Amino acid sequence: MAHDVAIVGAGPVGATLALALADADLDVVVVDPRAPGEVARADRSLALSHGARLVFERLGLWPGLAATEGAVTPIVTIDVSQARGFGALTLDAREQGLPALGYVVSYRALQAALDGALRNTRVEMRYGATARSVAGTTAEATIGIEGAGEESLQARLAVVADGAGSSVAGITRTRRDYGQVALVAAIALSLPHAGVAWERFTPDGPVALLPERDHYALVWTQTPERAARLRDLPDAQFLAELAAHFGSRRGGFAGVADRRSFPLVLEVATATTATRVAVIGNAAQALHPIAGQGFNLGLRDAWELAQTVLATPRGELGGAAMLERHRRGRSLDRRAGIAFTHGLVQLFGNDRPWLSAPRGLGLALLDAMPFAKRAFTRAMLFGLR
Ligand SMILES: Cc1cc2nc3c(=O)[nH]c(=O)nc-3n(C[C@H](O)[C@H](O)[C@H](O)COP(=O)(O)OP(=O)(O)OC[C@H]3O[C@@H](n4cnc5c(N)ncnc54)[C@H](O)[C@@H]3O)c2cc1C
């Protein structure tokens, strides 16, 4: 018999959707190639907005996650500035009346919390199962499965949250290579970070320092050649170059570990719905990390889809009308998130000197105008709708 909802991928986005549907009278099944207790992306932390925290609070996940040693680091201030140019912007949680502007959360800890919560629900978790194809007819969606002893499963609605979206019939992805790579590393500190995140625009590309436990997580956007050189520099020289980029704004860099780099691309699914199928999270859009919007946008995909499913009678799940409501509801936030991030890359993610003045003016104006600053901060915190 067909399931009501089949979710492909139990990463942070797919698992959030499953949890948001868990209390409803619905037959929900989730497939993921992971083994129980494994995570797909052990190497990273996620930048969570205040809005994302609210979602996890509603799901009852936040208190346990926040109490887990080293899982959550609050960002209370964000300092944005540019090297060799005027203009700076400081965003502060107190100005917004919030405990924090956002959080750096361990992917592993978040995944463990979601998996743990799902264990206590009626949601059927099929680990060790890889979806190879997802296709829909007017009657139902069919997911071709490899592993876990079954060849296919049927559902009224299939949701693809596999981080790549590669298995869906009829949906392709456009890919824009920014020609840049993100060099990431852990930076040990001789001065505590005090919850301050730094975003510094330099002629060599933007540098972000995010407070994480007792150190900073560095994301340094570079050309592939410069990133390769920096990756191989002796520690002391690497730290000296980082300090030079921050000038007098932030110092106390005492050590560097775990240097890695990955290419920066914008990948967007040409459609987020197909017959009986919805695509969410990184499968729908993978963004440049410059504004920390990617995961938050994906999480809103999951939360909003759950609300649409819960408001739809079972017989109409996965039907054209339900999918159209979902697509229309997500369209503005999604397009704005993609455009906002892409616009920031164009304005800040390169070394064209003639952009220095408009950049500085933008930062100075935002900082000087409480209303605009508040609107900007709210967009960063809750998304653009
Ligand atoms: C290189 C890189 C670095 C990043 N760094 C950061 C960062 O520092 N901070 C940040 O906030 N964001 C970062 N992001 C973005 C962040 O990883 C995503 O926003 C987030 O992981 C999206 O969650 P998701 O659940 O959509 O996808 P994923 O986290 O990719 O999860 C997908 C899930 O689907 C499963 N799956 C995969 N294939 C199949 C299949 N065929 N069938 C069934 N299940 C499948 C996987 O096992 C996994 O559990 C980064 C992204 C990339 C590519």
**Claim to verify: residue 54 and residue 121 sit in the same structural domain:** yes
The predicted pLDDT at position 203 comes to 72
Q: Do residues 251 and 121 both lie within one domain?
A: no
Q: Which domain holds residue 272?
A: 3-69+106-174+266-345
pLDDT value of residue 179: 87
Query: Are 213 and 184 in the same domain?
Result: yes
Instruction: Tell whether 324 and 277 lie within a shared domain.
Output: yes
The model's pLDDT over 310-346, given as tens digits with 9 standing for 90+, comes to 999 999 999 999 999 999 999 998 998 888 777 777 7
Examine the domain organization and report whether 94 and 31 are in the same domain: no
Of the listed ranges 11-20, 93-102, 138-147, the one predicted with least confidence: 93-102
For the chain, percent of residues with pLDDT exceeding 70: 87
The backbone region for 382, taken as left when phi is positive above 0, alpha when psi lies in -120 to 50, beta otherwise, is alpha
360: domain CATH number is: 3.30.9.10
How far, in Å, is the centroid of ligand 1 from the Cα of 233? Answer: 29
On whether both 234 and 323 belong to a single domain, the answer is: no
Ligand 1 atom, smallest distance to 217 CA? 8
- Residue whose CA lies nearest to ligand 1 atom number 49: 11
186 and 227 share a domain? Answer: yes
What's the structural domain count of the chain? 2
Instruction: Tell me: do 80 and 91 sit in the same domain.
Output: yes
Q: How far is the CA of 336 from the centre of ligand 1 (A)?
A: 21
pLDDT tens per residue, range 344-367: 777 665 555 555 555 565 655 555
- Determine the distance separating the centroid of ligand 1 and the alpha carbon of 170, expressed in angstroms: 22
Distance 108 CA to ligand 1 centre (A): 12
* One domain, residues 162 and 306: yes
Is 250:152 a contact under the CB 8 Å cutoff? no
E strand or H helix at 77, and its extent?
Answer: strand 77-82
Probe residue for ligand 1, chosen from 30, 41, 48, 133 as the CB with the greatest number of ligand atoms within 8 Å: 41
Cβ density class 119-142: b for 16+ within 10 Å, e for less: eeeebebbbebbbeebbbeeebbb
Considering only CA atoms, which residue is closest to atom 31 of ligand 1?
Answer: 11
247 C-alpha to ligand 1 centroid (Å): 34
Pairing of strands 152-160, 3-8: parallel
Residues 19 and 168 in one domain: yes
Residues near ligand 1 with C-beta < 6 Å?
A: 8-14, 31-34, 40-41, 44-47, 130-131, 161-163, 167, 262, 281-283, 289, 292, 294-295, 298
Which residue stretches of 41-147 are H helix?
50-58, 62-67, 93-96, 107-119
- Per-residue confidence (pLDDT) for residue 200, from 0 to 100: 83
Nearest residue (CA) to ligand 1, atom 12? 46
Alpha carbon of 195 to ligand 1 centroid (Å): 25
Q: Are residues 34 and 51 in the same domain?
A: yes
Distance CA 136, CA 300 (A): 24
pLDDT of residue 138: 94
What is the reported pLDDT for 258? 93
Average pLDDT, the chain: 87
Same domain, yes or no, for 184 and 302?
Answer: no
Q: Is the pLDDT score of 70 beyond 80?
A: yes
> At 31, is the secondary structure helix, strand, or coil?
strand
Q: Could you tell me the distance, in angstroms and rounded to a whole number, from the CA of residue 44 to the centre of ligand 1?
A: 10
Instruction: Indicate which CATH number applies to the domain containing 27.
Output: 3.50.50.60
